[in-house]
Structures are given as C-alpha cells and as structure tokens.
Structure 1
Amino acid sequence: IQEYRENRAVQRIQEIQQILPRHIRWLATGLNYDGLQEMEDNQQNQE
C-alpha cells in the first residue's frame, strides 16, 4: 500500500508539472526565487 501511495504521489506531481506555467515548474525543480525574479525582470526589459 505504501508503494502504491508513493506512485500516486509521483503521478500527481507529474500532472501538476504539466499544468503549471513554466516559471512555477522552475521553482519546483529547485531554482531559487531570486534567479527567477531576475529572469522575469530581464523579460520585461526586453519588451
């Protein structure tokens, strides 16, 4: 049962990652918030 529960959790995480916008996925993969903020600022500067 424990194994089944872990598999369900993994599937759920993968579903969420597919749904979430790319920048939230970056956070989920461990990119720190400051780096993300910097990338967003750069995008705004380019526009």
Structure 2
Amino acid sequence: KHLPRYLAEFCYRFNRRFWEPQMFNRMITACLNAQTVTFSELRQ
C-alpha cells in the first residue's frame, strides 16, 4: 500500500550522496516546488 512512497524515499536517500555540495539549494528548491500532501491523502 505504501511501498511506492517508501521506495521513493529510499531512492532519494541513495541518490543524494552524489550531490552533497548542492544539497541545501536542491532541498530548498524541492520544498518550494512540492505540492502539499495532507495526512488523509497520504493514508489512501
């Protein structure tokens, strides 16, 4: 049920080790561009 989100988290954590110098800028950009996910949407 929640496997795609867990897999996405694993892929993110695995891949982020290659861009550590730019991590802060990428994180800010990702946060600004991401849509809000409510708890009820997460549970679906």
- Which one has the largest radius of gyration? 1
Task: Give the TM-score normalised by structure 2.
Answer: 0.49
Task: Give the TM-score normalised by structure 1.
Answer: 0.47
Q: Which has the higher contact order (CA 8 A, sep 6+)?
A: 1
